[in-house]
Amino acid sequence: MSKSSITSAPPADMKIPSKIAMISDPWRWSLGALIALVCIFCVAEFWILAEKKKSLLAESQERLREQASVLIEQTNHIISDLLKISAMHELPESLRFRSPEELRNHFFRISHSLVKIAGAYDQIRILDPAGHELLRVNKGANNSVIVVPDKDLQNKSDRYYYKDTLPLDPDQVLFSRLDLNIEQGKIEQPHKPMLRLSQKIVDHKGQLVGIAVINFLAKTLFDEMDNYDQKCNTHTYLADEHGFWLHGPDPADDFAFMWPGKEERAVVRRIPALAPAFAGAKSGEIVCKEGFFVFRRVRPCGLSCGMC
């Protein structure tokens, strides 16, 4: 930055774009959080515009609250839909798992409706207790619903969202780590950022029947963040608790943890001063050579959600 730009105050009506980075951690058990970082302006501008710090800080915090509200609303909708799948044990006694065909028809009827209405669900599945897909529908073109034939069903017993759901109580919901979708053991191309919510299905005796899983297309969330940016003149980013970009300033850095040897792309490797934002604090401010940051941690499904 030139000396003149450091010493000269900008016009009073000048718009100062903010940079927001929302950082999620792998949601262990039924707990989840996001950390939002707002880079209000670069350090040189910060010292020039110190008198505007208070108002800009309040503006940034309000933007974080709005972004968090979008996330909370979205995840609450997914939880509600997941319950429609996992609550099949609440069917009348005469219908409860009387035959695999009844289970299949009930699942397809519900999932078809959810995919058509939600539009952001890539897959809805039921895994058996051993982790093999029993039933699965995929989202097709124009929100069409594709029933996956039995021969194409896969075993997911090695996936962490299956393993981490097993120890949960039936009334708890697992939020998976937000990562790239994997099919047949390989990262799907083109990349599909995916968030999975899963819950046990138990029968009237409390015995495990299966696990319901909804794959939510995280690009939907990213698009909402980007639309908000255009409206508010901000830049919203998302990263995980380890400091890896999920939706960052450079797409080449996104989901770098999915490939070995890309640790240098972590946020904290590039901007070490942001480490406190990943250390568990609920909120705070960080001033470093890269800028003035404000961050805040938020639970994905809201503090009022009994499953979190």
**Count of domains in the chain?**
2
Q: Based on the domain organization, do 189 and 250 belong to the same domain?
A: no
Q: Based on the domain organization, do 48 and 144 belong to the same domain?
A: no
d(CA 125, CA 134): 8
Q: 217, 242, 259 — which closes off a domain?
A: 217
Q: 194, 217, 240 — which closes off a domain?
A: 217
Q: Based on the domain organization, do 272 and 159 belong to the same domain?
A: no
Reduce the DSSP state of residue 50 to 3 states and report it. helix
Q: Based on the domain organization, do 265 and 245 belong to the same domain?
A: yes
Question: Is 80 among the domain residues?
Answer: no
Longest dimension (CA), the chain: 80
Domain that holds residue 143: 86-217
Reduce the DSSP state of residue 69 to 3 states and report it. helix
Q: 187, 217, 247 — which closes off a domain?
A: 217
- pLDDT category, 194, cuts 50, 70, 90? very high
Q: Based on the domain organization, do 224 and 207 belong to the same domain?
A: no
pLDDT at 37: 59
75-108 pLDDT, tens digit per residue, is 888 888 888 887 755 544 444 445 567 667 777 8
Decide if 4 contacts 244 (C-beta within 8 A). Answer: no
Q: What is the pTM of this model?
A: 0.76
Question: Is 303 among the domain residues?
Answer: no
Angle at 232 between CA 226 and CA 236, to 5 degrees: 40
Q: Based on the domain organization, do 172 and 254 belong to the same domain?
A: no
Q: Based on the domain organization, do 176 and 126 belong to the same domain?
A: yes
Question: Is 202 among the domain residues?
Answer: yes
37-48 pLDDT, tens digit per residue, is 555 444 444 444
d(CA 19, CA 249): 10
Q: Based on the domain organization, do 109 and 204 belong to the same domain?
A: yes
pLDDT at 238: 79
Which residue carries 């590039």 as its tokens?
270
Q: Based on the domain organization, do 115 and 27 belong to the same domain?
A: no
Decide if 21 contacts 36 (C-beta within 8 A). Answer: yes
Decide if 297 contacts 281 (C-beta within 8 A). Answer: yes
Question: Is 283 among the domain residues?
Answer: yes
Question: Is 177 among the domain residues?
Answer: yes
Average pLDDT, the chain: 74
Instruction: State the CATH number of the domain containing residue 156.
Output: 3.30.450.20
Torsion, Cα of 267, 271, 275, 281 (10° steps): -80
pLDDT at 167: 92
Q: Based on the domain organization, do 188 and 241 belong to the same domain?
A: no
Q: Based on the domain organization, do 94 and 182 belong to the same domain?
A: yes
Cis peptide before 249 (omega within 30 of 0): no
Q: How many residues does the chain have?
A: 308
Question: Is 110 among the domain residues?
Answer: yes
Beta bridge partners of residue 116, listed in sequence order: none
The DSSP result for 167-199, as a single string, is TS-TT--EEPP-EE-EETTEE-SS--EEEEEEE
Question: Is 305 among the domain residues?
Answer: no
The DSSP result for 225-276, as a single string, is HHHHHHHHTEEEEEEETTS-EEE-SSGGGTTGGGSTT-GGGSHHHH-GGGGG
Nearest to 70 by CA among 247, 307, 300, 308: 300
Q: How many helices (H) and strands (E) does the chain have?
A: 7, 15
Q: Based on the domain organization, do 16 and 68 belong to the same domain?
A: yes
Decide if 164 contacts 125 (C-beta within 8 A). Answer: no
Q: What is the DSSP letter of 30?
A: T
Question: Is 306 among the domain residues?
Answer: no
246-302 pLDDT, tens digit per residue, is 888 789 899 999 998 888 888 888 888 888 888 877 777 787 887 777 777 766 654
Q: What is the mean pLDDT of residues 141-145?
A: 82
Reduce the DSSP state of residue 114 to 3 states and report it. helix
Q: Evaluate the CA torsion angle 222, 224, 228, 231 in order and state its sign.
A: positive
Reduce the DSSP state of residue 76 to 3 states and report it. helix
User: What is the distance in angstroms between the CA of the first residue and the CA of the last residue of the chain?
Assistant: 46
| Pairing assessment for the beta strands 18-24 and 133-139 based on DSSP bridges | unpaired
